[in-house]
Amino acid sequence: MNSSLNLSAQAQIIDGKATANAVLEEVKAEVEQFKAQGIAPCLAVVLVGDDPASHVYVRNKVEKAQYVGIRSLEFRLDADTDQQTLLAQIDALNRDMSVHGILVQLPLPEQINETVVLEFIDPKKDVDGFHSENVGGLSQGRDVLTPCTPTGCIRLLKDTIGENLSGLHAVVVGRSNIVGKPMAALLLKESCTVTVVHSKTKNIQALCQQADIVVAAVGRPRMLNQEYFNPNAVVIDVGINRIQENGKNRLVGDVDFEEVANHVQAISPVPGGVGPMTIAYLMKNTLTAARLQTQQI
Ligand code: GUN
């Protein structure tokens, strides 16, 4: 990383789309190796209900799987599906040796207990990395299946800063199970000094100002302005917030990009930053899962 002071120069814009494409090409080549050994990596996606955003996400996942040569199976269940029916579907997928990855799209309808469902997925097929066995494994620094979004963020950080993140102070803003907590665990595994700040934290701004790395995952549009960063900060914005501005729909992050972009070392934009990395790492995780189950490659 360039450690000279960066007072008002344009920050490096971290191109998540380009990096995601590079990851997909890596996956494509690895899929060929699996196929050469007679294994067809396969991802099953289960969608319950008719949440429009979830439908878009699932379609994107299936399309990307097709692109890299991963076989995909899609299961769409009605919004009023009961928990037993969903568990029976997962049980069938757990037992099916030709299925390597299982993803149940969240959120689930209210009659279904999310924890029960996620715990029911075979941990070796848990491409989301949400099963407690994988969560626990990650907290112990073991090589397990890890959540796609924070894993993608680590790749963006390494592409920007270099492979060695050791000793850097990383501040994670947000403590969700999907992003904040696994992000903190992954950064710790990289030997960063990690601070997690959240809605009850006193003086978030002062803590962020000390950071070499800031990962924002709170879901509050443009919460972090210029005052939160030192000029050498590398900023990863996980937020995807839909807002209305001047009568138009816009997607913005948790960081005020326009204001911050000239005052930090590097920043990921929204859209085009973290978003494409999530699906790319879902594909990577599907191959990791296939490897865990076949012990072939
Ligand atoms: N819904 C929003 N993000 C995610 C995710 O990472 N995994 C799953 N399964 N559902 C989601």
What confidence score (pLDDT) does residue 7 get?
52
What confidence score (pLDDT) does residue 296 get?
60
The domains found in the chain, sorted by start residue, are 38-122 (3.40.50.10860), 147-275 (3.40.50.720)
Run of H or E including 79: none
Question: Among 141, 193, 128, which residue's Cα sits nearest to residue 165?
Answer: 193
Active-site annotation holder among 128, 212, 237, 256: 128
Query: Under a CB-based contact definition with an 8 Å cutoff, are residues 266 and 234 in contact?
Result: yes
> Identity (one letter) of the amino acid at 224?
L
Cα 148 to ligand 1 centroid, rounded to whole Å: 9
Structure confidence by residue, pLDDT tens digits, 208-223: 999 999 999 999 999 9
By CB neighbour count within 10 A (0-12 exposed, 13-18 middle, 19+ buried), where does 140 fall?
exposed
d(CA 150, CA 215): 9
Ligand 1 atom 1 nearest Cα: 106
Q: Where are the alpha helices (DSSP H) in 7-69?
A: 16-36, 52-68
Query: Under a CB-based contact definition with an 8 Å cutoff, are residues 146 and 136 in contact?
Result: no
d(CA 37, CA 32): 9
Q: Quick check: bond before 150 cis, omega within 30? A: no
What confidence score (pLDDT) does residue 297 get?
55
Cα 203 to ligand 1 centroid, rounded to whole Å: 30
What confidence score (pLDDT) does residue 2 get?
47
Token pair, residue 232, equals 């050498």
Q: Which of 93, 115, 145, 178 has most ligand 1 atoms within 8 Å of its beta carbon, as the pocket-test mutant? A: 178
Structure confidence by residue, pLDDT tens digits, 241-264: 999 999 999 999 999 999 999 999
| Ligand 1 site, CB within 6 A | 103-106, 128, 148-149, 178
What confidence score (pLDDT) does residue 9 get?
73
Instruction: Spell out, as residue ranges, where the chain has pLDDT lower than 50.
Output: 1-4, 6
What confidence score (pLDDT) does residue 5 get?
52
Query: pTM (2 decimals)?
Result: 0.95
> Identity (one letter) of the amino acid at 131?
H
